[in-house]
Every structure is written in C-alpha cells, then in structure tokens.
A and B are shown apart, each in its own frame.
Chain A
Amino acid sequence: MSRRQILGIDRWGSLPVLAILLSAACSGSLSTPPPTAGTTAARQEGATSKSRPDADETAGQDELGASRPEVVALPSPGSPLVAVRLMFAAGSIYDPQGKEGLAALTGLMLAKAGTTGRSYSDLLESLYPMAVSIDVTTDRETTTISAEVHSETLTGFTALLTEALLRPAFAESDFRRNKQQLEAFLLSTLRASNDELLGLEALEQMIFRDHPYGHAPAGTLAGLAAITIEDVRAFSESRFGRNSLTIGVAGGYPEKFPEGLAKTLSALPPGNGELAPLPIPATITGRHFTILEKPTRSVGIHFGYPLPINRSHADYYALMVANSFLGEHRTSHGRLMQQLREKRGLNYGDYSYIEYWHVPPFTNHPSPNVPRRQQFFSVWIRPVVPSTAHFALRNALYEVDRLITHGMSEEEFELTRSFLVNYSKLWAQTLADRLGFLMDSRFYGMDYYIDEVEERLSELTVDDVNRAVRKYLHSDNFEAVIVADDAADIAEYLESEVPSPMVYNSEPGPGIREADAVIERIPVRPAGISTLPVAEIFESAN
C-alpha cells in the first residue's frame, strides 16, 4: 500500500505518476577554465568555503594515491534508511557531435542493464526483495546514479550496485532496449504526451543554441541512431571513471561504509575528471519567438535568456529574493501567479526561475544533483486558451518590467526574505535530498547550499536586491517558445501589435481593468518569429 501512489490533483499542479515514470530517465556562466569535478567546478565570486559541521568528508585512495573518488558522507545513525548517490561529471555536454544522447544512454547501460555476472533480469530479481531500484538521471553537466535502501539490506545492495558499475556487460539487448527508451522519450513523451515538458526543453535549446547545453540530455534521434555499443563502452571508460565521480552516502550506515564503498569504486577506470570548458552563450539581441506547432487545445508560453551567475555567486541570493517575489515556483504569492491566475483567471500557474528546474510539472521544490555552471532566467506561463495568449504574454512582460522599474519595497523584501529563509529548509526534508544538495555544493565550490541561503539572505538589504534586479533582469533580449496549434495566427498578431483586450466572465478586482488598458497595448516587438513543426524538433543537433 505504501508504494502505491494516490492519483490526485493538486491545487497548483498534478502528479501524474505514469507521466513521471515515462520521463524519469531524462531530465533536461561564462567561459571558465576546466577545474576538477566536485571541487571548485563552478565556484564564482563571493563563495564561502566553510564546511558543514555534521558532514564527514573523506576520500577514497586509489592505487595511484590520488583522492578519487571524492566522498561526501552525511551520517544519521538512528535512521533505518541509507541514501547512496553517485554523481559523475558525465552530462550531455560530453556527447560527441552527431552522437547526442551518448551520456544518457551510457548512464542507462550502467544503471539499467546486466553485468558480466548476471543478466538485467537477474539483477532486478536480486534487488526486488529489498524494494530497491537503481535510478539514473542525466542532465547537461552530470549523470547521477542513486538509490535508497533499508540499512538491513545495505550489504547485499552495495554488492549489486558496485557489480553494475564495475562489471557492466554492455549486452546488445540491453543496448537496444535503453536506446529505444530514449527515442520513445523524445518521440512519444515530449513530442506527443506533454506539451509543458516539450516547451521547457525547447526553450533551453533556443537559449543555448550552438552551445554544449543546446541539445536534450536524451539526445537527438539522429544522434541516438548513430551511437554504437562501442561508443558506449568508450564513453563509460572516459567519463564514468573514478576521477569524475563524487560518492554521496547518507543515513544509518556502518561507520566504515563510505570509505569501503570508495575503495571498491576506486577500481573504476580513472577516466577524465576534468570539466569541459563552456563557451559564453551567444548574445541574444531582441525578442526571438519560436512557435512550436502541434495539435493542441491551448497555448504554452516560455521565455528566457542566459544568466552570468549561478548559486555560488553572491548576487545570486539577491536575485533569488527578487525571483521569488516575481514567480516562486508552484506557490500562490508570486506576482506572476497573482496577476495572471488569481486576478485574471488566465491559466493554472505562472512562475519565473533563475536556474534550471528539473521536470517542473512534477516537482514542487528544487531537485538536487542537476548542478550547472551556467544558468538562465526564464518565465513559464502555463497553458492558456488561444484567445488570451497574446494578453498573457504581454501581462508577463509587464510584470517583469514592473519589477525592473519599481523594484521591491522594503516590506515586500522583508516578507519574501522571511519566506525564503524558512521555505528553503523544506527543500531538504529527506536524507537523500540533504545529501544531494551537499554534493551539489561541492560542485559549486561553496558551503552547504541550504545553510548558505539563510546566511546570505540575512545579510541582504532591499537595495542589494533592487541593484541585482537592474543588473541581471531585462525583457528586451530573449528567446521565447510558444507551443500552439495555429502558428500563423500567433505570428500574425505578434507582428501586427494589435491590442489584445481581455474579456472576463465576472467583474475583475479593483484596478484590473485600468491595468489591462495598458497591458493590452504593450508592444511585443518581436525581432524574429519562426515556426517549427513539432515533427522537426529533436531530429538532430541545432
């Protein structure tokens, strides 16, 4: 009974379990020198370096004496649970050109495939009585293999996990099955089953055009078709080695467990532990619209642009307060949510972001272990009926501009800061999440992120926040993705700049009609509008 999910409809979002299952395999700064994974990989100006007091930091010793793999341990002796997370610097940025999807496919061939000692079916059969699943998530920068296990079964589970990593069989039938999973994710899930995930992924591809972040971790159809099993074997040697691995362990494990696991996994091939340098994302000039055309009853709108900072930068925390005020994910109090949904009934939800958010239709809080050196600002307007899409876009632009022009008041700042200081603690309620955020903090070269939020925010003033808003937020230059059925209609009204008056089914609240009179005439000023039939996205790298 416990493992059965209750299929419910949340007030601010749904949790369609099957959809999650079908998307779980694939998620979705500036030029920096290539540091070593897991240490100072993405640290930016203003990062602190204190250690978290209750975290153990040990390091396995390989036969060459190097401290790889790195270990992050979070003991909780009273807990009956143990979380194990193995984060490799092996994300989709390492996919060779023309073989997009190789990192994700290799991750699957380690976590969801047989070994030289047992078939995949036998591996599943061995894991089954423990109720354990070895999961894998590939993002742009990293691939994380993870599991949560009862402490009573830790020994048996660890033997199976290490066998999967150290003795992969790379069997042809597993290769075919896992490759088809990725193809199905692109063809049936993204293109045909979830317009929101589709729009979110497409936006990233537009923002990071001609950049290593510019294709989905699941790859492209042409890329997947070109990958051979030898490619997987070679990629596993080069990117899934001990030098690119950070081991995370949390919970009620025996005292020597972390170093024992590190010692066992030091038998991985050394591999390349250096992070690939990232180019500066191309400058976006003007407002560029891509209309992703497909049969659908509504219109989803996304826009965004690269940000030059990530959570290791001091300014990130000032921007975090402003972003929460503008559009905190899946809460009712952001300005976008209040103005578009609550005051005008335009749709189900409206949010903004200053970093990548993992599968946002299904997650309420930030997910750990999807760290990125380069981030982006984005606004997500959930599906609206076609007749209000033009107004909804203008309303969102109005709110972004309003924040830039007026900033936050002292009162708004204090309330939002208070919210974030408490709310951020809820992001790490489970041992697995705490461990994940701690590992990410290593990636960013900073102190434990959840503590950092409180410390940084306590030092902020409203002037800091408004300064960060003026420095980093704008609405003049962005990429936008619109998922819609009638691209020609949208292109026509975007270009013509016709007014888009709202029609209400009841009298809106005070001041709404007056504001609408301004919003309905805001110039969108598209610098370019292109239409992309849905059948063409994910075909090959841009």
Chain B
Amino acid sequence: MPLPREEKSVRPRPIQIALMLVVAMIAAGLVSADPAQDKVFPHLVHQTRLDNGLKVVVVPFDSPGTLAYFTVVRTGSRDEVEPGHSGFAHFFEHMMFRGTDKYSEDEYNEVLKRMGADINAFTSDDRTVYHMVGPASELESIIDLESDRFQNLRYSEDVFRREALAVLGEYNKNASSPFRAMFERLRQLAFEEHTYGHTTMGYVEDIKAMPGYYGYSLSFFERFYRPENITVLVVGDVQPDSVAQLAEKYYGSWRPGYMPPVIPAEAQQIEPRAGHINWPSPISPFLMLGYRVPAFSDTTVDTATLDIIAQLLFSESAPLYRKLVVDEQWVDFISGGYSDHRDPYLFTITSRIKSDDLVLKVRQAIAEAVADLSTEPIAVERLERIKSNLRYGFALGLDSPGSVARTLSNALIMTGDPHSLNRVFGQYQKVNPEDVRRITRETFKPETETVVTLSHLEDRPGTDDASEKSKAEVH
C-alpha cells in the first residue's frame, strides 16, 4: 500500500543535507576514489546509503546533456514463492506505471513525454529494473517522479484487472518462439523446488488467474518495494553531490520494511531429466541442455571459470563451434554459457540443428568437446586470448550511459556492490588450466543433465515427457 508522505517543511534544507552526506560518506568510506586505471570498469563510482537503507550509486559519464536513471530492485521471479503466482514480479512491474495521488498515470506520462525521456522496465529471475534515459537538466523532476511512485503507488482494482490482460498479450506475442517454450520446459524439469523452476513470464494458467490477485499485489508492494531492497543508479552528465542531496530530499522519508522471502533450496539432481516439445509448424530441430552450477561468485574463480569454459566451447574461436557451424555445418546456431544468478542455476547450451538425423551427432560432439576440456589441460596462450576477448568485449559494451547503467545494475543485483564488476575480472586473471579442468568435470556430469528437444513431428501432436502439467503451455 502507498505510504504516507512527509510534508516538505519537515525536511532539512539542501545545504544541511549536503554537508551531512559528505561527512557521512567520507566517514563510511563509501566514496570510491580509485579511477581504476588497472581495472576493467574505468569510471569513478560514487555510492552512499541513506538511513533508510536506500543505496544511491552515481557514475559521471561523458554524455553531454543526458543521464540514465535506473531503479534497481532485488526482486524478480525468484521471489515468487507462493504457488499459483508465477509471473507476478513481472506483472507488478507493469503496475508500477499506474500513478500516484500526486502524479496520476496520465500526468506521469505527460511529464516524461514533454522531456522526451525513454522509459521502460524489465524483470528477470533476480531483478526488476526500472530504467530511464533523459535530459540531465531534468534530474530533479525525474527524481521527484520516480521517488513518488516507489513510495506512493496507487491503482484501482479495475485498472489492475485490465493490466493483467496486457500481460497475457505479452505472453501471447512470445508464444510463437520455440526458445521460450524450450526455456520454460527446461527450467520446469531442472528445478523441482526452487523458484527458478518457472520463467519470469510465468505459467499461462497463473497469468490467466492474475486479475483475481489485487489484494496480493498490494502486499507484494509492501513486502518488496522498500528502500533496503533497492538501489538508485544514475549514470551520465551529473554531479554526484547534487544527486545525493536530491536523493535525501526525495527518498529520505521512505520507510524501511523489506521482508525477504524464504526461497526453497533445490535438492541435488541425481539423475538425468529429459523432455520433448512437438512444434506445430515445420521447423529445424532444436536442442537445449542444462547443467547445475553454483550461484554467482566474485570471491572464487567458479563464475569466472564458467565464463571461460563457455568461450572455450561456444565462442566463434572454439573448436566445437568450428566443427559444428563452419566445417561439418550440422547446426546453424549454437551458444552456451552461464548467466549470473543469486542462487545455484544452470549452464545452458542451445542449438538449432539442420536436420533430425543430426541431433544425436551434435550431442555426441558436445560431449566429446566437454570430455576434452575435462582431461586435456588447455594452453596458457589460449587462456590469454580468451581473457583479452573478455576485456575488450567489456570495454566495447560501455558506449552509452544506459549500457553502463545496465552493466552496473547486474553487479548490484548479484552482490549489492558495483565494484563486483572489477572483482569478477580479477577472478578471470586467476583462472588457470587446472581450474578449467576441475570446473568442467564438476559441471558436465550425466546425472545433473537436463535436456529438452524440439521438433516438428506431424503424427505426434503434444509433448512427451514426464511433466504432464506443462502441456498447456506449449502450442
């Protein structure tokens, strides 16, 4: 429910706030003063935390007149622990655009339209990110708008029920993608307890039931949209002290009260799991594999090593890629890797194969490449080429305030600390050939494998795996 707003008259004057903040930031050692010449993230990061727990991170960036304003919520579909509520974090993201007493939805949109801001949001397993790119001259207006909706959101049940239909529309627009169908099935098979078992979009039955959960949506806001669970991230043509002052002014009265959910732990997988989707249209066959891996870590080499294994197996320089795509030409696409997750997740491999009779050959080729990695130590020179690729790739991705903010937001979601970026790249430098062998052996075990295939079998409509309950999701 919306929280009461304090009157402006009770707030300290800006100059007082600035002084207090500077003292507090220096005392707490929270201002990053290292320009990080030797680190992969080259920009100065300023961060502070308000008394209510809200973290404010500011990165000056050379983008004259433009800023990126991200509100990063450490809540995603991972937090959907109640049965029947898959997809709710994403649905709630939609509701966050429905206005407050101070700024109705129409007024909110009109202010942003006048300033020409680019505004949107996305949800995934561990996060909901509200992002805006707009004129730096409008910084205070933006903070006013954004702080208001996070503290004082208000919408009617009629509006709530109608927006649920837009979410169903979103599901429908994605439904023709075989990737979505396979991804949904893979997770359902791989996770029996943990909430990673459902996708961020959610099951279609749960989406259809969403209009009935108005009361639940209010409690969702109460539990998760609290300052301790959120970081405000500003990148671009801004002064850190100005942002800090404005953050105190507009967010300072926000009451804490975050209630972290209890995420069920997933038991160890002890046998392989498999499923098949019969696609209704003629299509090249697809293969998707998943292997259990630990949660994200910037304090061990595990995550960094998985990234390097992904490069060794699936980059355009990988022998397996060369064999499958360039030489034998059995597949027109293959990729693999681990995407950062707060809890143990999956290393996934996806490929579109040119004909049904090649699927087993492709699986065999993948297995052989994995076996090579787990037995033969890789050359140090090859490791160095991969580290070079990762480093240049990172630098090439930092080309706008929005891309910098998006990159930093990932670190904030994983660990709450933007410097996590540099720590992961520090781990890359530590990875040695033995790490690669060890992590390969630990990851790609037959008993922790989950496989989903997809193809068009005209005489066998439906799906044929153990998860009968998922039939309705694939059409």
Q: Which residues of A contact B (CB under 8 A)?
A: 1-12, 14-16, 18-19, 21-22, 78, 80-81, 119-121, 124-125, 127-133, 148-150, 152-153, 173, 176-177, 180-181, 184, 187-188, 191-196, 294-298, 300, 330-333, 341-349, 361, 364-365, 382-385, 415-416, 418-426, 429-432, 504-509, 534-535
Contact = CB atoms under 8 A, between A and B. Distances in A.
A175 to B, nearest CB: 11
A177 B388 contact: no
A438 to B, nearest CB: 16
A18 B396 contact: no
B362 interface: no
A415 B59 CA distance: 31
Contacts of A383: 169, 172-173, 175
Interface string B100-134: 00000000011001111110111110010100011
B339 A148 contact: no
Interface string B387-427: 01111111111111110001100100000000001001100
Contacts of A120: 326
A11 B97 contact: yes
A439 to B, nearest CB: 18
Contact of B122 (A8, A121, A133, A177): A8
B7 interface: no
Contact of A3 (B116, B158, B397): B397
Nearest to A10: B122
Interface in B277-299: 279-284
B116 A425 contact: yes
A536 to B, nearest CB: 12
A430 B352 contact: no
Nearest to B325: A177
Question: What 6 A-B pairs have minimum CB-CB distances, sorted nearest first?
Answer: A422-B116, A345-B165, A8-B122, A2-B394, A295-B280, A131-B393
Nearest to A365: B118
B335 A18 contact: yes
A149 B396 CA distance: 7
A18 B389 contact: no
B116 A423 contact: yes
Contacts of A348: 166, 169-170, 172-173
A429 B63 contact: yes
For chain B, give the interface size range: 35 or more
Given A181-B332, A429-B63, A128 B397 contact: no
A418 B109 contact: no
A508 B475 contact: no
Contacts of B178: 192-193
A296 B279 CA distance: 11
B206 interface: no
Interface string B175-188: 11111100000000
Given A8-B129, A9-B201, A80 B410 contact: no
Contacts of A18: 179, 333, 335, 350
Contacts of A193: 176-179, 283
B86 interface: no
A192 B283 contact: yes
Given A16-B174, A295-B475, A505-B211, 13 more contacts: A2-B390, A2-B407, A5-B339, A6-B339, A6-B406, A9-B200, A11-B120, A15-B122, A333-B109, A345-B163, A425-B66, A505-B161, A509-B158
Contacts of A149: 396
Given A415-B114, A505-B165, A191 B282 contact: yes
B169 A346 contact: yes
Given A3-B397, A8-B200, A431-B399, A14 B170 contact: yes
A192 B281 contact: yes
A140 to B, nearest CB: 24
A383 B170 CA distance: 8
A1 B152 CA distance: 35
B329 interface: yes
Contact of A131 (B90, B164, B180, B389): B389
Contacts of A429: 63, 66, 133, 399-402
Contacts of A15: 122
B385 interface: yes
Contacts of B340: 1, 4
Contacts of A2: 390, 393-394, 397-398, 407
B435 interface: no
B43 interface: no
Contact of A364 (B120, B129, B354, B399): B120
Contact of A128 (B284, B315, B421): B315
A345 B162 contact: yes
B219 interface: no
B110 A1 contact: no
Nearest to A113: B326
Contacts of A195: 173, 176
A184 B399 contact: no
Contacts of A342: 166
Nearest to B403: A430
B281 A534 contact: yes
Contact of A184 (B66, B115, B284): B284
Contacts of B121: 10-11
B392 A150 contact: yes
A534 to B, nearest CB: 7
A244 to B, nearest CB: 28
A185 to B, nearest CB: 9
